[in-house]
């Protein structure tokens, strides 16, 4: 394994570079820094974000739209954000075009409604993204095209799509109802083949697996590496971000963080050991703007900025950890209900969900803990407990399992009076990649239903994915109200359940950093537009809630948190809950011990 810790490296970059990994590991920072480095070297670079919750604008400090735009300060850097919603709308327009002259407005409306699911959004995004690899989406010739991708589960799904649709369209040449006529795809089968050939060619494409020196993050990178290799995408490199090296070797917290990172790196999964690897240090500043992005690859510039930053110590805010107050409030309201953790990848939705579920169960409540995240780590945390609370049940909404249950059920219902030929057609029809979305939605609905009798804590997938699920929920709600024969007052759809603030408590999880805060704020706005008002915010990994820090780098990062936490408290929510930074492998027991009855009196 080649490890390159000096980031002033010579690197023969391929034409297509993909940055992928668990949410919050720094994919966007590293993708932007690489784009700037190559632009500085005179290369013409196109940087594309495929993340529905993209923050390219924040990081680059320039306007990024769904049209190719030149960076204001760097003449040969161009950016574009593939907005899934815009892509889907354009896709629907193309699908409807052939029917415009010979279909009634009602029929056209019906076709448009049929194309409103999340799978349409996914296929449209891939359709758009594939055009940049074949060159058809590029008005100019670029030396390098960089893809800053959505969190891993989403990316893998995007890369699996061509094969899934290719197979499906081959067996259903008339096209599938949920994606409209196959002619609406800009990408023909030949184009998909061309795209996959380019992605599999190691002279053309490199996949950068971005991780932190943390168990969950490395586990995710390992899983991604295996899944990409299974798709024939084997030119991979590992980038470890945020590697901490203590300045004050007597700081207790610093020593722990450093030791834990070293241990994780020593136990790195086997598949990752064979990859070429680069490491990037933890910095006392937010990597925002061109100069700070340049510093990621320039040690001299990094040192200048670090020295400047550490000199300016802002007033430190000593925040108090108070998650127990949230559990007190949930318990005081009722002995059942829905609790959902939402936010960008990597902010700690899963650990917060696991902690709340365990605390409620310890207090004697019946609790179901489940997840809609394709990269589910809920069990990993719960398995850290030496004894599970008797009243806690842990499940996972597994898309593959749910799809099988759903398609088996539909087949049984619809095949009773069909002949063998019609049954074969039905089996093929049920292989549509769209059914996965419907199946996950059904499982989500069932979990919501259980919350009428007990506490149900749902750890959701990263933001973009969650918004697609909520979009499906809203479409389902409209469909039910249109087709029901019951009195609408007697119906509660999942969407209505989420809008009921007494029943559903939506918690936005963030970190005490600018970008995660802004992303949680954007999610809050999206939810409010849909009539869903978050209950409160949980700010995870707060260094400012840890006493006796002496390491200058950690002190600086802790003092940077004050402005963020105050902004959240003063302008974004009435309820703010703080969890301190805890450098422990057994994270769930460590958090629970803070709120143990010995330390906290209810």
Select the more confidently predicted residue: 151 or 160.
160
Task: Please indicate whether residue 481 or residue 306 has the higher confidence score (pLDDT).
Answer: 306
Top mean-pLDDT range of 73-82, 366-375, 589-598: 73-82
Highest mean pLDDT among 38-52, 72-86, 180-194, 287-301: 287-301
Q: Which of the two residues, 117 and 342, has the higher pLDDT score?
A: 342
Pick the residue with more confidence: 218 or 470? 218
Q: What is the pLDDT of residues 499-513, one digit of tens each?
A: 888 999 999 999 998
Spatial distance between the Cα atoms of 323 and 581, rounded to a whole number of angstroms: 13
Tell me if residue 473 is catalytic. no
State the pLDDT at residue 374.
64
Based on the residue annotation, tell me whether 515 is a catalytic residue of this protein: yes
- Residue whose C-alpha is closest to residue 48's, from 153, 155, 123, 120: 155
Which DSSP category does 311 fall into?
A: H
Q: Is 289 a catalytic residue?
A: no
Is the domain spanning 3-311 CATH 3.40.50.2300? The answer is no
pLDDT bracket for residue 159 (50, 70, 90):
low
- List the Cα angle 470/472/474 in 5-degree steps: 70
pLDDT at 219 over 60: yes
Q: Is the pLDDT of residue 481 over 60?
A: no
Spatial CB neighbours of 416, under 8 Å, sequence gap ≥ 6: none
- Point out the least confidently predicted range of 12-21, 85-94, 161-170: 161-170
pLDDT band of 273, cuts 50, 70, 90: very high
Instruction: List the alpha helices (DSSP H) in 97-188.
Output: 105-114, 118-134, 152-171
Name the active-site residue from 321, 515, 544, 559.
515
For residue 486, the model assigns a pLDDT of 47
Catalytic residue among 14, 29, 50, 130: 29
Using a pLDDT cut of 70, give the percent of the chain over it.
Answer: 79
H or E stretch covering 240:
strand 236-243
Candidates 20, 21, 22, 26; catalytic one: 26
DSSP conformation class of 462: P
- Average of pLDDT values for 159-173? 57
**Rounded-to-integer distance, Cα 549 and Cα 284, Å:** 14
| Domain 323-399+440-594 = CATH 3.40.50.300 | yes
Region 410-422: mean pLDDT is 83
Q: Where are the alpha helices (DSSP H) in 172-214?
A: 189-200
Same-fold call for 3-311 versus 323-399+440-594: yes
Catalytic one of 24, 153, 337, 474? 24
Domain spans of the chain, in order of start:
3-311, 323-399+440-594
Q: Any catalytic annotation for residue 51?
A: yes
Q: At 330, is the pLDDT very low, low, confident or very high (cuts 50, 70, 90)?
A: very high
Residue 433: the pLDDT is 57
Q: Which residue has the higher pLDDT, 97 or 441?
A: 97
Please pick, among 28, 34, 121, 155, the residue that the annotation labels catalytic.
28
Q: Is 24 a catalytic residue?
A: yes
Rounded alpha-carbon distances, angstroms, from residue 48 to 22, 54, 82, 149, 258: 18, 10, 7, 8, 34
Helix (H, G, I), strand (E, B) or coil at 8: coil
Which is the catalytic residue, given 14, 21, 27, 120? 27
Which pTM was predicted? 0.75
Confidence of residue 484 (pLDDT cuts 50, 70, 90): very low
Per the CB < 8 A criterion, the answer to whether 199 and 162 are in contact is no
Asked if residue 6 has pLDDT above 80, the reply is no
Active site residue 482: no
């Amino acid at each position: 394994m080649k490890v390159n810790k000096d980031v002033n490296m010579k690197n023969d970059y391929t034409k297509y570079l993909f940055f992928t990994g668990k949410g919050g590991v720094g994919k966007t920072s590293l993708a932007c820094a690489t784009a700037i480095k190559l632009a500085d070297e005179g290369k013409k670079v196109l940087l594309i974000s495929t993340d529905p919750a993209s923050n390219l604008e924040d990081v680059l400090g320039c306007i990024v739209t769904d049209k190719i735009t030149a960076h204001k300060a760097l003449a040969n850097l161009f950016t574009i954000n593939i907005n899934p919603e815009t892509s889907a709308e354009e896709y629907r327009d193309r699908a409807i075009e052939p029917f415009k002259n010979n279909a009634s407005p009602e029929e056209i409306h019906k076709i448009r409604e049929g194309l409103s699911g999340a799978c349409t959004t996914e296929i449209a995004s891939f359709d758009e993204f594939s055009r940049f690899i074949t060159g058809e989406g590029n008005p100019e010739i670029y030396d390098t095209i960089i893809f800053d991708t959505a969190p891993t589960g989403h990316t893998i799904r995007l890369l699996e799509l061509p094969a899934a649709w290719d197979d499906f369209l081959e067996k259903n040449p008339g096209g599938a109802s949920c994606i409209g006529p196959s002619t609406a795809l800009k990408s023909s089968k030949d184009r998909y083949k061309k795209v996959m050939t380019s992605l599999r060619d190691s002279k053309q494409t490199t996949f950068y697996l971005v991780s932190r020196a943390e168990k969950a993050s490395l586990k995710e990178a390992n899983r991604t590496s295996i899944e990409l290799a299974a798709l024939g995408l084997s030119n991979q490199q590992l980038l470890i971000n945020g590697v901490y090296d203590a300045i004050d070797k007597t700081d207790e917290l610093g020593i722990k963080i450093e030791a834990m990172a070293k241990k994780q790196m020593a136990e790195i999964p086997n598949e990752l050991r064979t990859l070429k690897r680069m490491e990037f240090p933890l910095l006392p500043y937010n990597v925002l703007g061109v100069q700070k992005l340049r510093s990621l690859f320039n040690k001299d510039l990094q040192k200048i900025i670090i020295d400047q930053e550490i000199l300016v110590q802002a007033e430190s805010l000593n925040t108090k950890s108070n998650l127990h107050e949230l559990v007190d409030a949930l318990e005081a309201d009722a002995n059942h209900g829905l609790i959902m953790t939402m936010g960008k990848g990597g902010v700690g939705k899963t650990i917060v969900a696991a902690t709340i579920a365990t605390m409620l169960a310890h207090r004697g409540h019946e609790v179901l803990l489940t997840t809609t995240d394709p990269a589910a780590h809920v069990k990993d945390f719960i398995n850290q407990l030496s004894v599970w609370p008797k009243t806690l049940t842990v499940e996972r909404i597994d898309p593959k399992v749910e799809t099988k249950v759903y398609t088996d059920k539909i087949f049984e219902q619809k095949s009773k009076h069909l002949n063998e030929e019609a049954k074969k057609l039905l089996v093929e029809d049920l292989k549509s990649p769209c059914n996965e979305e419907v199946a996950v939605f059904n499982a989500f609905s069932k979990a919501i239903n259980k919350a009428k009798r007990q506490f149900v804590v749902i750890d959701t997938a990263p933001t973009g994915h969650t918004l697609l699920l909520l979009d499906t929920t809203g479409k389902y709600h409209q469909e039910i109200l249109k087709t029901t024969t019951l009195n609408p007052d007697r119906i509660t759809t999942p969407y209505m359940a989420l809008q009921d603030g007494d029943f559903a408590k939506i918690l936005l999880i963030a970190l005490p950093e600018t970008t995660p805060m802004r992303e949680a704020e954007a999610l809050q706005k999206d939810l409010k537009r849909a009539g869903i008002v978050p209950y409160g915010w949980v700010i995870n990994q707060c260094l400012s809630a840890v006493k006796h820090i002496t390491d200058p780098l950690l002190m600086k990062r802790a003092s940077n948190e004050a402005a963020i936490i105050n902004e959240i408290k003063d302008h974004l929510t009435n309820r703010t809950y703080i969890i301190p930074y805890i450098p422990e492998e057994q994270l769930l027991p460590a958090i629970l011990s803070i709120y143990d009855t010995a330390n906290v009196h209810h």
